[in-house]
Amino acid sequence: MGVASFWHVFEGFMLVESSQSHSWDFGHADHSGSRRPLAFRSAPSHFLPLKTTMFSRLSASKAALKPVATAARIPSLPSSTVRFLSSNAGQAAAQPPLASRTALATASIFTVGSIAWYTHLYGSLPFVGEVHANSPAEDGLHPTAYPWSHNGLLDTFDHASIRRGYQVYREVCAACHSLDRIAWRNLVGVSHTADEARAMAEEVEYQDGPNDAGEMFTRPGKLSDYLPAPYPNEEAARASNAGALPPDLSLIVKARHGGRDYIFSLLTGYVDPPAGVEIRDGMNYNPFFPGGAISMARVLFDGLVEYEDGTPATTSQMAKDVVTFLHWAAEPEHDERKKIGLKAVILFSALTAISLYVKRAKWAGVKTRKILYTPPVDKHH
């Protein structure tokens, strides 16, 4: 490697540290033949010039070391600044912090002024709605957050409660509400055995066809059939409920704000209307329903259902069980999703630990490497 080529490579090792008061000038010849100095600062104790035998081959006339005053080469900077002065970052660091503080103060004043202006115009803080805890208002009372047994990250559905909830739905809710997204086979392994689900399906007559003669016929239900709807169409449903349409319950837990807590509070929240509140005929008062007036009358009463397992059928117990069943109907993959999530957490945690170990092993030699510079030995001495 020639001397000129070497110095082009060596220029990349310029080190700057403002905490030192002197730097070194490695003079070398440029393309015009004149000697052009390179200003260096002393490197920190943990970062010294490269230890190599190339320097021993350079004559003193090609690379002369002489101290140069820092003030003549590099303007004084704060001791914490370690940057090249030729870069924009170094110039920005050298500027006083007055400009940034002014910009921060301006942004703060603008933000506070905007919030004050909005509050003055609309009477409330932005992004914060008014809350009246003691009045139902138009959106209804906010339901209480109940400690459901499947709330935890590793908790699954209470399948005994799902079975009882299906019984409540079948004996109480199915008279008005459909469950279009649930088939008999979905109950197998969750709340009932295959024989129990098949027996319940066969109790229902389904229209099928056409047959070979082109006629429609009825047959007993199969596991592949969906749970029957109480009404043949929407018009029949409205005609039987004074113009109100009972909603399908397949996704009711996800379709209502508050989910399980709202459904439970609605089923157990029927009370007499307070003084001054008028409810027209055919409507019922429920403070959890938006507006307070609901077409559906109270349907759950103590002892209404006789559970197969002997659980006392109180109003709150039946509401809890049917809400658990409806939550499963809206999210049948709930238990499997949590199992897959746990497996994913374990897998990615192991991969992260392995990656950190490999990274430390690979970079340990690089991070602990020290670059040393051994000046050439004067053979005359």
Tell me if 150 is assigned to a ligand binding site.
no
DSSP string, 173-232: GGGT---TT-BGGGGBTTTB-HHHHHHHHHTSEEEE---TTS--EEEE--TTSBPPPSSS
CB 309 within 8 A of CB 165: no
Q: Could you give the residue ranges of the DSSP H alpha helices within 58-202? A: 70-73, 88-94, 98-122, 159-171, 194-202
What are the CA-CA distances from residue 159 to residues 149, 194, 272, 332 (Å)? 11, 15, 35, 12
Q: What is the DSSP string of 356-380?
A: HHHHHHHHHHHHT------PPP-TT
Reading the block at residue 326, the tokens are 């409806």
Structure tokens at 368: 């602990």
SS3 39: strand
323 closest CA partner among 133, 172, 175, 137: 172
Residue 159 counted as an annotated binding residue: no
Q: How far apart are CA 323 and CA 258, in angstroms?
A: 12
Tell me the sheet residues that pair with 294.
Answer: 284
Whether the Cβ atoms of residue 188 and residue 223 lie closer than 8 Å to each other: yes
Q: Dmax over Cα atoms in the chain, in whole Å?
A: 120
| Pairwise CA distance, residues 110 & 116, whole Å | 10
Give the tokens for residue 164.
């009882």
296 is in an annotated binding site: yes
Supply φ then ψ for residue 291, to 5 degrees. 90, -20
Q: Is 257 annotated as a binding residue?
A: no
**Using CA atoms, how far apart are residues 98 and 112, in angstroms rounded to an integer?**
21
The annotation places the binding site for heme c at 173, 176-177, 296
The annotation places the binding site at 173, 176-177, 296
